[in-house]
């Protein structure tokens, strides 16, 4: 059975545009917190952590060079009932933080964020 796949950026990382600074992706860190709070999510979806610099070959191969942002949730099916669903070739994905959170709740029995 195919699983959804969640791509997150490894932290910390450096950006040459900001010498000496060290960063994390706030949306990826939010997803990491969700995974820590509901560790059973590790069995329900595949979680892949990738490095920050672009190009990000893991995503380019799946979604094209225009869709390298993280976090991104690759869906194992059509994504019925989810918002923010996009398609690249035969790959169905969501790359917007709030839509990913809603999809994880809808598809994987997690609570929803408080409004």
Give the separation between CA 21 and CA 16, rounded to whole angstroms.
9
Give me the pLDDT at residue 115, please: 87
Residues 31-48: pLDDT tens digits? Answer: 999 999 999 999 999 999
| CA contacts within 13 A on the Cβ side of 83 | 7
Give the separation between CA 114 and CA 86, rounded to whole angstroms.
25
Banded pLDDT at 1 (limits 50, 70, 90): low
CB 60 within 8 A of CB 50: no
Question: Global pTM?
Answer: 0.96
């Amino acid at each position: 059975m195919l699983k959804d796949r969640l791509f997150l950026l490894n932290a910390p990382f450096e950006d040459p545009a900001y010498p000496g600074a060290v960063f994390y992706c706030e949306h990826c860190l939010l997803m990491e917190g969700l995974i820590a709070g509901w560790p059973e999510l590790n069995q329900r979806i595949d979680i892949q952590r990738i490095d920050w610099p672009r190009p990000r070959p893991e995503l380019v191969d799946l979604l094209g060079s225009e869709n390298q942002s993280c976090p991104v949730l690759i869906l194992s099916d059509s994504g019925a009932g989810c918002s923010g669903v996009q398609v690249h070739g035969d790959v169905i994905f969501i790359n917007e933080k709030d839509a990913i959170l809603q999809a994880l709740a809808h598809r994987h029995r997690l609570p929803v964020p408080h409004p």
